[in-house]
A and B are shown apart, each in its own frame.
Chain A
Amino acid sequence: MLKAAGGLCARVLGFAVLLMSQLALADETESLKYNMTRGVTPVSQDIHGLHMQMFWWCVGIGVVVFGIMFVSMFLHRKSRGVKPANFHESTWLELTWTAIPILILVLMGIPASKSLINLYDTRESEVDVLITGYQWRWKYEILGEDVSFFSNLSTPRDEIEGFAEKNPNYLLEVDEPLVLPVGKKIRFIVTANDVIHNWWVPDFGVKRDAIPGFTNDSWAIIEEPGTYRGQCAELCGKDHGFMPIVVEAKTESEYRAWLDEKKAAAAALAELTEKTFTFDELYAQGEEVYNRSCAACHQANGEGLPGTFPSLHEGIAVGPIQDHIDVVVNGVPGTAMQAFGEQLSEVDIAAVVTYERNAWGNNMGDLAQPLDIYNHKQGK
């Protein structure tokens, strides 16, 4: 049975060599990334160190254990004419191989515990960000700055469905990235609005579950300016794979400038609430809003998914307009239909309601103005 035993060794080795050669190649082609990122924060680098340390321990133990196994598979095989020994016990041996792993584990566990305690220390932060997961987008709020906005996937449908070439940041790009200053201790406070999500940016070593009704926190000091990408890391329903995270780390002054810009934009939007729009303006804007915020559930053609998301060709969307506005503003509690009153501006809600009532053959002919939405929110 030399062939079988030899074959097994050869296979395992051959496979390892194959992988190694791919790993060597990997340095050149970014597409063959194969190891954990070192990242750009003290925590992520710490974790990377632990990871590598653990990895080499395992390799070491593996070499010893598998080595002995392969040697005896080679030497102590019947086809070589050996006679089997008959020992089946050895107290000292068994004690040794209980004690050594314990020792190794302690050696692994101590640095890990230290890192963990450090990772949990979110005190004395300089910037606090409240992050809320929604199906399927993120909301960011810089606490104390009066800046808050939503961040949606911006990859075009055509790329996803294969009608257009995929860009390098395919599925990892958003319309409005979060901007943060470098060199400051940033505290991320994470929660969710509907189901559990998870806010994960590998380069920061931050991965926190966003749990509806509870907050969690974590921290990072970003050491290098740059664009960092991550993804939602907890199954949160249909579009779990389509809610990326993009963070741009900038200098303190650039960050300040961004804050001011955001505030100015919010003020400009508030003014628009007073304005009266034409049907066409609303319809055009509504289509855009609908595809960004609603199509994920109700589908681009408004037909929904039977049993899960209702069709908008019947029911409230073709009923009294006040009810329609109410559903969009306040949502339907206890269902996936969120309250969009806080998520979308008055203009956007007016637009999307107008769009839904008149798109896909829904010919209601009426429209909603931003002021109607504003009044509805104020309880008329």
Chain B
Amino acid sequence: MAHGPAKGITRWLYTTNHKDIGSMYLWFSFAMFFLGGIFALVIRAELFQPGLQIVEPNFFNQMTTMHGLVMVFGAVMPAFVGLANWMIPMQIGAPDMALPRMNNWSFWILPFAFAMLSSTLFMDGGAPNFGWTFYAPLSTTYAPPSVTFFIFAIHIMGASSIMGAINIIATIVNMRAPGMTYMKMPLFVWTWLITAFLLIAVMPVLAGVVTMMLMDIHFGTSFFDAAGGGDPVLFQHVFWFFGHPEVYIMILPAFGIVSAIIPTFARKPLFGYASMVYATAAIAFLSFVVWAHHMFTVGLPIAGELFFMWATMLIAVPTGVKVFNWVATMFKGAMTFETPMLFSIAFVILFTIGGFSGLMLAIAPADFQYHDTYFVVAHFHYVLVPGAIFSITAGVYYWLPKWCGNMYNETMGKLHFWLAFIGLNVTFFPMHFSGLAGMPRRIPDYNMMFADWNMISSVGAFLFGAAQVLFLYNVIATIIGGKKATDEVWENPEGLEWTVPSPAPYHTFETPPEYK
């Protein structure tokens, strides 16, 4: 076996090393985050004031759709897979991922899939314009021709996710160092184990629903056409059976990251380890029986409506357990507030706010007023941006010194945090108000009564975007140079990854370590 990385570009193209693949995932996701962010800025620029200024309504819809798709499938999911690739083997004391070649395959599908997806922007009829939830029949009978490319892009990126998830499960189940029992695994590993299970369970369902679309579009079937005996709402059921677990796929690994960071900077063991594990499992289980809360207004029978309302509300219980555990971990600790900790604390607060609005949405009668308004947009950006994105950012600051051996610049890190924190709240908090005031989502133009909130949101979005440029600069500067990091990096952090040198050697744990 080779001992160091190969030279030149082929190191990346042909690699089987989990650290290289992890880095590629992370850079890819960063690029997609910027691409999705640019789409978001087009949206925000158009919505800066009432009237049509910058883009056509049809193009606006393409921006909304591509923004959602790129952020969800291109930015957040690959970022978590990247972190999993880097950290899981190091945290469980394994030499690499279980199936290293398949690992590289999972990665390389993504650039192709997203190139294909993005190329639709230049096709006749334009890119997909039916929202990231692509409800039929808008996405079938009434879709632009590029929908076929969209469908196949989903197919192959789904295959990538499934292979990635299988790899992670095999790694965790099979490659733990001796002594690393399940209940001793770091929470990041636990949350990823459960996330991988969710992925394998629901990505095929997504593939199923796009296959049905493909059949309806090109082969004359009538899955989603009432005239032939089908039902457009069938689409929504199948989609959300995937879609709701999908949103937890985007948050469970975040829980894991934050559960690693808070104890380190509180200098106190994580409170309630076991209940954290059970809560994660409970959330994953419940995520399969709540999907129709996205469909409260489609006319479900009353019994269904009640069932899905109560099941959805239940999710607050295990999620609450997690929040309380984090607070209890901080309580009576000896806290310092380095950048990863700042992002984690903001995560806890702002994610909880997003959870609260989620709970309000879960109240079916109230959802009749909230549904498809900016209140929903506010909800999911609060759980996704300070949720998924902040946790990823926290994780990057936390582990970056281990990856590249250099310490990032703390002042710049803090500056990034505060700009992002302020920008984010200025962007997304007003959306609660415009939503409650009655502004529907996915519209390029609106009445003047929503004008003030939108103007504030747009300003915030550009501020938040600028903060991310700082992040990019920070990361590159740290990789190029900076103070050398110690092997432990932080004060007494928990976990095997801190027992190897910084930067982590190309191959770690070729002989498994004995874990306590």
Contact = CB atoms under 8 A, between A and B. Distances in A.
Interface of A: 1, 4-5, 7-8, 11-12, 15, 19, 30-37, 43-44, 46-47, 50-51, 54-55, 58, 61-62, 65-66, 68-69, 72-73, 76-79, 82-90, 93-94, 97-98, 101-102, 105, 108-109, 112-113, 115-117, 119-120, 135, 159-162, 166, 168-172, 194-196, 198, 200, 202, 205-209, 211-214, 216-217, 230-242, 305-308, 334-336
Interface string B421-453: 110010001000100111011111111111111
Interface in B336-366: 336-337, 342, 345-346, 348-349, 352-353, 356-357, 359-360, 363-366
Contact of B135 (A30, A66, A105, A196): A196
Interface SS majority for chain B: helix
B448 A116 contact: no
13 contacts: A11-B418, A65-B352, A73-B337, A76-B332, A84-B268, A108-B313, A116-B365, A119-B365, A208-B299, A241-B443, A242-B57, A307-B123, A336-B142
A98 B321 contact: yes
Given A4-B337, A233-B372, A85 B437 contact: no
Q: Which 6 A-B pairs have the closest CB atoms?
A: A213-B226, A307-B125, A307-B124, A241-B443, A216-B299, A33-B437
A241 B446 contact: yes
Interface stretch (B126-134, B395-403, B508-516): B126-134
B383 to A, nearest CB: 14
Given A86-B269, A233-B371, A213 B335 contact: no
Contact of B364 (A43, A112, A234, A239): A112
B52 A65 contact: no
A12 B342 CA distance: 13
B327 interface: yes
A77 B267 CA distance: 10
Given A77-B334, A212-B232, A51 B366 contact: yes
A213 B442 CA distance: 24
Given A85-B332, A166-B50, A235-B131, A205 B368 contact: yes
Nearest to B371: A207
Nearest to A113: B306
Contacts, number: 326
A77 B342 CA distance: 13
Interface of B: 50-53, 57-58, 61, 123-126, 129-131, 135, 137-138, 141-142, 144-145, 225-227, 231-233, 266-275, 297-299, 302, 305-306, 309-310, 313-314, 316-317, 320-321, 323-324, 327-337, 342, 345-346, 348-349, 352-353, 356-357, 359-360, 363-366, 368-369, 371-373, 414, 418, 421-422, 425, 429, 433, 436-438, 440-453
B138 A232 contact: no
Contacts of A65: 323-324, 327, 352
B290 to A, nearest CB: 14
Contact of B297 (A208, A238, A305, A334): A208
Given A85-B332, A207-B297, A334 B57 contact: no
A112 B365 contact: yes
A291 to B, nearest CB: 16
A240 to B, nearest CB: 6
Given A55-B360, A160-B445, A162-B53, A72 B313 contact: no
Contacts of A35: 433, 436-437
A316 B51 CA distance: 34
B51 to A, nearest CB: 5
Contacts of A217: 299
Contacts of B433: 33-35
A8 B345 contact: yes
B298 A216 contact: yes
A73 B232 contact: no
Contact of A120 (B270, B302, B359): B302
B124 to A, nearest CB: 3
Given A68-B331, A86-B269, A94-B324, 7 more contacts: A11-B418, A58-B359, A73-B335, A85-B332, A108-B313, A233-B372, A240-B61
A58 B443 CA distance: 29
Contacts of B144: 307-308
A50 B337 contact: no
Contacts of A335: 141-142
B84 to A, nearest CB: 25
Contacts of A162: 51-53
Contacts of B302: 116-117, 120
Nearest to B368: A207
Most buried by B among A31, A116, A200: A116
Most buried by A among B269, B346, B437, B445: B437
A36 B302 CA distance: 24
Most buried by A among B345, B368, B443, B453: B368
Contacts of B272: 88-90, 94
A200 B329 CA distance: 45
A195 B334 CA distance: 58
Contacts of A8: 337, 342, 345-346
A47 B368 contact: yes
Contacts of A76: 266, 330-335
Most buried by B among A12, A36, A66, A194: A36
A342 B422 CA distance: 54
A112 B425 CA distance: 30
Contacts of B437: 33-36
